Amino acid sequence: MTDTTPTTTNAPVRTIDTLVLLFHPRFAQSATNRALADAAAAVPGVQVVDMAALYPEGRAIDGDAEVRRLLSARRVVLQFPVQWYSSPPLLKAWQDAVLTRMFYMAYASEGRHLEGTPLLVAATAGNVPEAYTPTGQNLFSLAELLRPLQATAHRCGLPWAEPFLVYRAGKMDAAQLAGEAARYAARLRAWGAEAPAGAPAGAGCAEALAGAV
């Protein structure tokens, strides 16, 4: 992928309509996330980046490249499988390396340019919807389990879109999987047609991270 984004000291040029950052530790073995990623990549204006392929275990995240990538997008999607009620470790490492830098270390030159960028989470889960209820196996809904990401979006001024959720990952037949992929593509097209948000949703991350020194 050719990197044509500007330096972070200038106002960014948004060259990507929708950037999908895919965090899957075993993407080659994934049927569900692969189908979703393929469907997303076929939508005009959508760019899908396999983050685990860029950063295999042990390779440090390139903060410069990831900041430029984020600032090149009008909208950002975080796609991943839910693992033990959370996101994969690489996504957390990316947050630590990229968002901490942008909003705590370089807010004026980087973080403020990301504010107002809409964020969508696309998450897959292996269980049925009923398992994610107060009387189910997992007690909490998927939306509740995603609250840490929603809080991050709020504090960083990224308007939060209703998450795209897929259940029974790895257990669907071909027709069901195709239906979920089509639903994802339709969601991305509809989301991309919406007017971009212009105002931050939160007060910025600097205050949230100030106590981490």
Q: What is the pLDDT of residues 38-82, one digit of tens each?
A: 999 999 999 999 999 999 998 999 999 999 999 999 999 999 999
Is 8 part of a structural domain of the chain?
no
* Domains identified in the chain, total number: 1
Is 178 part of a structural domain of the chain?
yes
In 3D space, the residue among 152, 150, 149, 73 whose CA is nearest the CA of residue 114 turns out to be 73
**Residue 39 in contact with residue 181, Cβ under 8 Å?**
yes
Is 3 part of a structural domain of the chain?
no
E-only strand ranges, 12-141: 16-22, 46-50, 73-81, 119-124
Taking only the tens place, the pLDDT of each residue in 24-50 is 999 989 999 999 999 999 999 999 999
Is 176 part of a structural domain of the chain?
yes
Is 120 part of a structural domain of the chain?
yes
CATH number at residue 189: 3.40.50.360
Which domain, by its residues, includes 86? 16-212
Residue 204, CB half-sphere, CA atoms under 13 Å: how many?
Answer: 15
The single residue listed with the structure tokens 């270390």 is 105
pLDDT at residue 161, rounded to an integer: 97
At residue 73, the 3 state secondary structure works out as: strand
Is 180 part of a structural domain of the chain?
yes
Is 175 part of a structural domain of the chain?
yes
Helical H segments across the chain, by residue range: 32-41, 51-54, 63-71, 89-94, 100, 112-114, 142-145, 147-155, 174-193, 206-209
Is 135 part of a structural domain of the chain?
yes
Taking only the tens place, the pLDDT of each residue in 164-209 is 999 999 999 999 999 999 999 999 999 999 866 544 444 444 555 5
